[in-house]
Amino acid sequence: MRHETRPTEHRAALSPRDACRLVGHGVGITVEDSPQRVFPLAEYVAAGCSTAPPGSWVTDCPVEHYVLGLKELPPAPSRLLHRHILFGHAYRGQPGARALLRRFADGGGALLDLECLVDDEGRRIAAFGHWAGYAGAALAVLHHRGVLAAPLARSTRAELDRRLCPPRRPGDVNALVIGAGGRCGLGACEALRTAGIEPTRWTSADTEMPDRSAVLAHDILVNAIGTGVPVPPFLTEDDLDDPGRRLSVVCDVTCDVGTDRNALPVYDHVTDWDRPVDRLRTRPRPLDLIAIDNLPSLLAAEASRAYSAALWPHLLDLGGEESAVWDRCRLAYRSALDAAGHR
């Protein structure tokens, strides 16, 4: 398991507890040291894992080993020899997708994208969605109250919930969650309820012909819907200038900016932990955007434990000849290579 090179990424794909379970099944695990990972390296050592310096997978990891991570790979090496397990964000035309696939094709490695780790019905087997929605909605509420500090620091669920407690004089705040029936949406709704706000909930049926005037009538919008095909936009540039707009905070959990699936084509870059909020409009009233593409890192311990608990049993099947779950990942990778002209 490699060190995450993004300084604000605190999560781990595998917790020490579940690493211990894998070791108990005879799986050898090496964990790179990482200064920002939420779990101390000593806990992995106690679980029976070997250790290595950050980034040592590049030079010291045998090519037949799998390299497990979460977010983007460092820019070097240019040729990727290993089989990497991570969220590649490379199959939907995202910025940098072709370059990443070229690195795998040139090196002979493979991308086993965690987005493609699905069951027979196409549902994600392991996902951070709940905590992404929870964190995103929580940040939106705190910003609406004017108490969101920057830069943002890693938190715990208990600490965040204390901050979300409804004020003694709660105002008339209404929120809309788009995609309320999915993992992200359910997490967003839970955070809003913790804050004393009962949200309006849109499911996929409500997005077929979205009522943008209804969107504008809310104070807070949390977009938590993920789609595999283009959909009508939930907001347009003209909507932002509507003189009757009440909407003042948008949190885009999906962060599909740069793709044809972007249902919020009113911004062109994500925000980050140092500057979590961008102002989209000052008139007729301020409208601010939160679009952090690794929201679960805010609640790194809770998110990592939940994700790892769902992932680790499938890591046992990595070397198996018959694993439909990993076969789907391999097929998605080969299909992406073909579509990019890299094979």
Residues 29 and 147 in one domain: no
Q: Are 105 and 337 in contact (CB under 8 A)?
A: yes
**Structure tokens given for 131:** 């905590």
Residues 156-163: contacts with CB within 8 Å, 24+ apart? 156/299, 156/301, 156/302, 157/299, 157/302, 160/135, 160/298, 160/299, 161/194, 163/138
56-75 residue pLDDT tens: 999 999 999 999 999 999 99
Residue 174 confidence (pLDDT) above 70? yes
Has 89 been annotated as catalytic? yes
Same-domain check for residues 274 and 309: no
**Residue appearing with tokens 């990942």:** 329
Across all residues in the chain, what is the average pLDDT?
95
Kindly state whether residues 282 and 153 are assigned to the same domain. Answer: yes
pLDDT attached to residue 168: 74
Task: Let me know: does 329 contact 311? Beta carbons within 8 Å.
Answer: no
Rounded-to-integer distance, Cα 75 and Cα 50, Å: 26
pLDDT at site 170: 66
- My answer on whether 272 and 323 are in the same domain is no
Does 123 reside within a domain?
Answer: no
Token pair, residue 302, equals 């809770």
User: Same structural domain for residues 170 and 240?
Assistant: yes
Give the chain's domain count.
Answer: 2
What is the pLDDT at residue 129? 96
Whole-angstrom distance, CA of residue 271 vs CA of residue 94: 16
Say if residue 143 is in the same domain as residue 270. Answer: yes
Residue 284: cis peptide before it, omega within 30 degrees of 0 = yes
Which is catalytic among the residues 71, 143, 144, 218? Answer: 71
Prior bond of 77 cis (ω within 30°): yes
Active site residue 143: no
Query: For residue 208, what is the domain's CATH number?
Result: 3.40.50.720
Q: Are residues 308 and 172 in the same domain?
A: no
Q: What's the mean pLDDT in 27-46?
A: 98
pLDDT tens digits for range 251-287: 999 999 888 889 999 999 999 999 999 999 999 999 9
Catalytic-labelled residue, pool 84, 89, 144, 218: 89
Question: What average pLDDT does the segment 155-174 reach?
Answer: 90
* Structural domain range at position 84: 16-116+300-340
- Same domain? For 52 and 85 the reply is yes
